[in-house]
Amino acid sequence: MFERVLIANRGEIACRVIRTCRRLGIHTIAVYSEADRDAQHVRLADEAWPIGGPRPDESYLRGDAIIEVAKRTGAQAIHPGYGFLSENTGFSRACKDAGIVFIGPDPESIEAMGSKAAAKNLMAKHKVPLVPGYSGDNQDSAFLAQQAHKIGYPLILKPSAGGGGKGMQIVRSDAEFPDALATAQRVAKASFGDASMLLERYIEHPRHIEFQVFGDRHGNVIHLDERECSAQRRYQKVLEETPSPFLDAARRAAMGAAAVAAAKAVNYVGAGTVEFIVGRHADGSPGDFHFMEMNTRLQVEHPVTEMTHGIDLVEWQLRVANGEPLPLAQEAVQSRGHAIEVRLYAEDPDHGFLPGSGKLARLQLPEASAHVRLDGGVVEGDAVTIFYDPMIAKLIVWDVDRPSALQRMREALAACEIVGPKSNVAFLERLVRHPAIVEGRIDTGYLDRHLDEFVAGETRPSPETVFAAVVASLQYDERHVVGDPADPHSPWNTADAWRIGHPGKRIVAFAVGDRRFEIEARGHAGGYLLQCGDAKTEITGARWDDRTLSARFDGEARRFDVRADASRVLLHDAAGFRWRLERVPAFAWEASGSAGGNQVAAPMPGRVVLVKARAGDKVEAGQELLVMEAMKMELSLKAPRAGVIESVSAAASDFVDADMVLVRFADP
C-alpha cells in the first residue's frame, strides 16, 4: 500500500479521503489556497502546502503546482477527489509522466468519456442504449438549428465537454433555439473552455438513475447497484438514495449490465459512475433507459452506496490504484437496507437559492451513529468563502427500509442549526416530507415545476407556533436571570414581571422575515396567559429541556422540538416544518423598504459575464440588464421598474463586490 498520498482537493471530500488514509496508516499531504489556509482539510492532514491564490485557477486547478508539491514531499500517489482536476486528462497524464500514481482511471479512459459526443458514439458501438440526438463535429449554428428541427422538440442542449448540469438548456420550439444555443455556448466556453454542443431529445418526466462501477487492472469490472438522483433543481442533484424506489429487478439487472459494458468499452480502472435517463410508461412503470454520460471519478453521493453495501470506496480506489484486484466479484455484491443523502448548503432558497458566504457563527449537526453519517469540511467558526462551492456538509442516513430512512432523515435535519449565512435546511425538511418524495414518484423536472411547494415563500407561523416560541423564550429568560447568588430567595431573582397592584406583564417580540409578532405574556414558572393580536391562549404545565417543549394549550397537550436563546428561537411546528423567530426589542418596529427602485446592485461578489443595457436605454420592468457568474451559477439581474438607464458601471469580465451598484435609473 502507498505510504504517502497527496489529496489534490479541498473541503469535505479532502477530509473524507484523509480519514480513510489515516485508518490505513497512510501519511496524508494537503494542498491549499490562500482562502483555505485555516481550512479543516489543512488541519486534518499530516502536512499541508500552499499552492496559490484564492481563485480555483490560481490554486486547485494548477496541476503543475500540485505535482511539484507531490515531488517535494515524496508523495507516491495523488487522489483528486471530485471536481477540479479529477477528470482532467492532462493532469492524469502529467502525474503518470512524473512517476506519480493518479488515483483514478487512465488518461485514455478519461479522454474517451470526457467528451459527451465522443462517449455517445463509443456507447453506440457497444450497444449501450442512447437517446436520439446529434453529437457530431459540425457546430455551425444554422446546422445545429436544422438538426434540432430534425430531432424534434422538446430537446436539450448540453455542453459536450461539460458536467454538473452547467449550460444545459431545454428548448421547446424553433423560435427558442437561437437564444438558448447562444446562452449554452457562452456558459460552456466560460466553464469548460469549449463551446461545442450536443443535442438530445428531451424525455418528459424522466428519472435520473446512475450505477456505481469499479474496475481493476486484472480485467475485472463490476457494478455496485444504482443510486436514484431524480430530485434535482436546475440539473443539480438535491437528494440521492439507494436503492431506487422506481426500478424493478429486471430493469435493475439490465441497467447494471449496460453500465458494466460501458466501463469495459474504455478499459475502465477505478471508481466511476454510468448515468442513465429512464422514461416511464403511461401506468407509471419504468420505461426505456438511455445512456447519458459517464463520470470518471468518485461521485459526491458515493456514501449512500457505502452505507448500503458496507464498503469504503476510497479504500477500494487506493487498493486498485496500488495494483490489487477488486475485493468482490459481481455475484458477491449485496445491498442491505436503504440510504439517503442530502447536501447542506449556504444558500437562500427563498431568494432563488442565492449562494451565501460568511462565518458559521453556529453549526450544530446531529450526532453520528450507525444510522447517521456526516461528511463535512467546515466546523463552527469557519467561513464559507465566495470562491468555492458553498457546501457545508453532506448528511447521510441509513435504515432497514425506505420509510424508516426517510424518518431518520427528518430527525437528522431537525437536529441541524446553522447561524451565519442562510442555509437550505428548511427547504430540505419540506423536501423529505413532500408526497412526491415519500411516494417515490419525483422526476428530474418536478422541483423546477413545483418549487413553490418546497420554499417558505409568504407563509407565516400559526398562532400556536408563535405561542410555543414565546413559552420557550420565557423559560429561557427565567433560567438566565442575573441575580444575587448569595440570596437565592430574593424576589429580584425571579423573572415574572411582578409589580405592586398589577399582574406582571412582559412583552416578547419576534421577527420572521419582514413580519413582526408582539406578544403580551403574564405569568411564570410554566403557567402563562398569552395574547398576540386577537389570538389568546392559556399555557399550563410548561416544561422545556433545551430541546423539547411540552405544555397544555387551553387544556390540550402539545409537544414541540424547540431550541431558544436570548437572540432567537428555532422551532418545528406540528407538521414538522422549521420556523426561525428572531427576538427583537419590544418597541415599535417597522421593516425598512428596499431602496432598489432606482438602481440594480450586485447581490453577491462575482464576475459580470454579459451586459445588455447601456446609458439612455428605455427598459421595461423585469427586463434582463446584466448576467453575473458567482459560486458556480449564473445570476440574471433584471430591471426593478420601467424607465431610462442613467448609467452602467460594469463591463463584461469585471469582478464586482456584493452590493456594488451596477445600473442606475434616471429619476422618473
Q: Is 62 a catalytic residue?
A: no
List beta partners, residue 223: 213
Within 8 A by CB and 6+ apart from 324, the residues are 216
Q: Is the dihedral of CA 466, 468, 473, 478 positive or negative?
A: positive
Measured CA to CA, the distance from residue 97 to residue 358 in angstroms comes to: 40
Place of cell 413559552: 471
* Inter-axis angle of helices 116-125 and 107-114, nearest 10: 100
Q: Which three cell numbers stand for residue 636?
A: 440574471
Measured CA to CA, the distance from residue 259 to residue 65 in angstroms comes to: 35
Contact 547/537 with Cβ under 8 angstroms? no
The 10 Å Cβ neighbour count of residue 508 is: 23
Measured CA to CA, the distance from residue 356 to residue 420 in angstroms comes to: 9
Catalytic residue among 297, 373, 578, 580: 297
Measured CA to CA, the distance from residue 314 to residue 336 in angstroms comes to: 20
* Residue from 174, 142, 139, 173 nearest 158 by CA: 139
Q: 3-state class of 556 per DSSP?
A: strand
Contact 232/207 with Cβ under 8 angstroms? no
Phi-psi region of 262 (alpha: psi -120 to 50; beta: other; left: phi over 0): alpha
Within 8 A by CB and 6+ apart from 322, the residues are 1, 2, 77, 101
Report how many helices (DSSP H) and strands (DSSP E) the chain contains, helices first.
Answer: 16, 39
Q: What is the CA radius of gyration of the chain?
A: 28
Place of cell 484486484: 325
DSSP-assigned letters across all residues of 175-234:
TTHHHHHHHHHHHHHHHHS---EEEEEPPSS-EEEEEEEEE-TTS-EEEEEEEEEEEEET
Contact 277/289 with Cβ under 8 angstroms? yes
Phi first, then psi: give them for residue 180, nearest 5 degrees: -65, -40
Contact 374/394 with Cβ under 8 angstroms? yes
- From first CA to last CA, the distance across the chain in angstroms is 72
Query: Which residues are designated catalytic?
Result: 297
